[in-house]
Amino acid sequence: MKKNIKSQRQLRVGQQLKHLISEIIIMGDFSNEKLKQATITVTEVDVSPNLKKANVFVISRDNKKSFIKYLNENKFLFKKEIAEKLNLRYVPDLNFLFDSSFEYANKIEKILKEPKVLKDL
């Protein structure tokens, strides 16, 4: 049986990483122009139980997924900042992923507003 419950430490480190990665993105110290121009929001950071891996879920205002590639190419910048600012034994290996939950929520909302569905509600 797989355990999905996160420990307090996982949750706390996830929140710290979320705030720090958001700060780094806002500072915008990237060589890539697409990253400098994109409006990126970190929605969640999911940390593994041993704190060695972290999935960073992000979205963009224009909903383009192309910036994910550039974030993953520049993850060394994030890891360097994390190592300097957070007191962790290991700096987690970051994996940037597009958060599709907002797209899914919009799709459900659109379906619920259709006339066929509205008359059933």
- Domains in the chain (CATH in brackets) are 8-120 (3.30.300.20)
Strand partners, 44: 57
**Rounded (10°) CA dihedral 16, 22, 24, 25:** 160
pLDDT of residue 65: 76
- Tokens at 62, concatenated: 């224009």
What are the DSSP calls for 29-92, one per residue?
A: --S-HHHHH--EEEEEEEE-TTSSEEEEEEEETT--STHHHHHHHTHHHHHHHHHHHS--SSPP
Taking the chain (121 residues) in runs of 10, the rounded mean pLDDT of each run is 79 96 84 73 95 94 79 91 93 94 81 78 66
**Rounded (10°) CA dihedral 77, 79, 85, 86:** 170
pLDDT of residue 63: 64
pLDDT of residue 31: 66
